[in-house]
Amino acid sequence: MVAEENGRASTKSQKLGKENMAVTRASLFFPPPAMVSPIRFSRHDAPQPFNSNRYSLPRKPLKITAKSEKTQLSSRKTNPRTQTQIESDDDDGGIPMEDIKIIARFKSRHNYIRVLEVSRRATDHPLAGSRLLLLDAPGNIHSISFLVKSLTDTYFDVFATLPPILPSSGPVAILGFGAGSTARLVLELYPDVIVHGWELDPSVIDVGREFFGLHKLESQYKDRLFIYIGNALTAAVKDGYSGIFVDLFSKGSLIPELQDPNTWEMVRRRLAKCGRVMVNVGGSCVEAENKRRDGKVVMEQTLAAMRTVFGDQLHVLKLGKRSSEDSTLALTGPLPDRKAWKTAIPHKALRHYVDMWAPF
C-alpha cells in the first residue's frame, strides 16, 4: 500500500513457482520503463515465513494502525483467572489477542513483515474476518483483505473511486503496491483499467502471492496487471499514466521525498493529459518508528509540497471520527461534477466518498 526507502531499489529478476510464467505485455501501447520488467519471484528465493505455531503471541497488546483510520486490534487486558475481557482506560474497541493469529513473521531487507488473521469471532470489530499485512514495528496496516467481501472500509475504498474521473487513455500506476489491496478493487470494479503496480520489497510481493491471493489475481487479470520491483518514483510509461495512486510509507511514515515539491513535479510529468493523482497522506493515525516523524506534521508538509505544484487544483478528504484518528487523502485536478462522478462508480457503497472531498 507500500514501504519505500530512498535510493534502495531492488531490480533483481526472478521467476515464480510451478508455472514458471514470465509476465509479458499484451499491449504495445503502454510499454514499461526501460531496464525494468514485470517479474515473478520463487517462493524459495524469499525469506521463509516463520511458523506461527512455534512462537507465542506477544505478552503486550498488539497495537495495529490502519493508515486511514486508527484501528487497534487489542487494547484490552485479559484476566488470566477468568479469561474475561477487562477494558482499559484507553480502550478503543480493541480485539483480544486470542482472536488474532500470526501466520507469517520475518524481516526482509526493507521491512519487518507480519501477516495477521483476525478471527470472525470478533464480530463487533470492523476487522473481523480479515487478513492484514504489517510492515513496520508500530503496526501500521499496509494491506487488508476479507474472505467474504471486497470492500475494506478503509482508504483503499476511496482509492477505488478514482478511475471514473480519469482520461480513458493510459494505465494507472500504484506506487506502493503492498499485497495488492488497491489493485484488487480497481481490477474488479473497472474491467477496462490496466494496472501497473510498483513495490520496493520483493518479499512483500511474495507474501501477497502466498497469503493475499495476489497470484490468483495475476492469473485472472494477466493482461491487465503488471508488477514491477524497484523505486516507485521512477515509474513511467510512454504518453503517461491516466492516474497515479501514491501510498508510499517506510518505517511507519510517509517517505521524506514526498515532502519535496520536486518529487511532485516529477510525478506530475508522469501523467497523461488530464491525468490525476490520489495520495494517502496519512495523519495523526499513522505511528512512525521515529517519534520525530509526527504523522500529522508529515501530512501537512506533504500537502504543502503538493500545493506548490498543483496550486488550487488540490482537494482533500478526511477520514476518522476523532482527532487521534485523523487521516487524509489528497486528489489533484479540478473537482468533477459530483453527480456524474457518483453515477460512474459501479459500487453504490463507495459513492458517499465523493461528497467528502473539499478544497485544500
Q: For residue 186, which amino acid is it?
A: V
CB 301 within 8 A of CB 253: no
Q: How far is CA 62 from the centre of its chain?
A: 20
* Residue 139: per-residue pLDDT: 87
**Which residues, in sequence order, are CB contacts of 18 under 8 Å at separation 6+?**
none
Q: Which three cell numbers stand for residue 118?
A: 483476525
CB 232 within 8 A of CB 222: no
241 - beta bridge partners?
Answer: 271
Nearest-angstrom CA–CA distance, 214 and 219: 9
Residue where the block lists cell 453504490: 348
CB 102 within 8 A of CB 116: yes
CB neighbourhood size of 295 (10 A):
24
**Which residues, in sequence order, are CB contacts of 205 under 8 Å at separation 6+?**
41, 177, 179, 199, 214, 227, 229
* Residue 63: per-residue pLDDT: 46
DSSP 276-335: EEEEEEE-TT---SSTTS-HHHHHHHHHHHHHHHHTT-EEEEEE-SSGGG-EEEEEESPP
* Residue 320: per-residue pLDDT: 81
Q: Which three cell numbers stand for residue 23?
A: 509476465
3-state secondary structure of 304: helix
CA atoms within 13 A on the CB side of 213: 16
Q: How far is CA 201 from the centre of its chain?
A: 13
Nearest-angstrom CA–CA distance, 217 and 210: 12
* Residue 82: per-residue pLDDT: 26
* Residue 96: per-residue pLDDT: 82
Nearest-angstrom CA–CA distance, 178 and 132: 11
42, 208, 219 from 18: Cα distances, Å: 9, 17, 13
Mean pLDDT by 10 residues, the chain (360 residues): 41 35 30 37 32 31 47 37 30 74 96 95 89 93 92 96 94 98 98 98 98 97 98 97 98 97 98 98 92 95 98 95 77 97 98 97
Residue where the block lists cell 462522478: 341
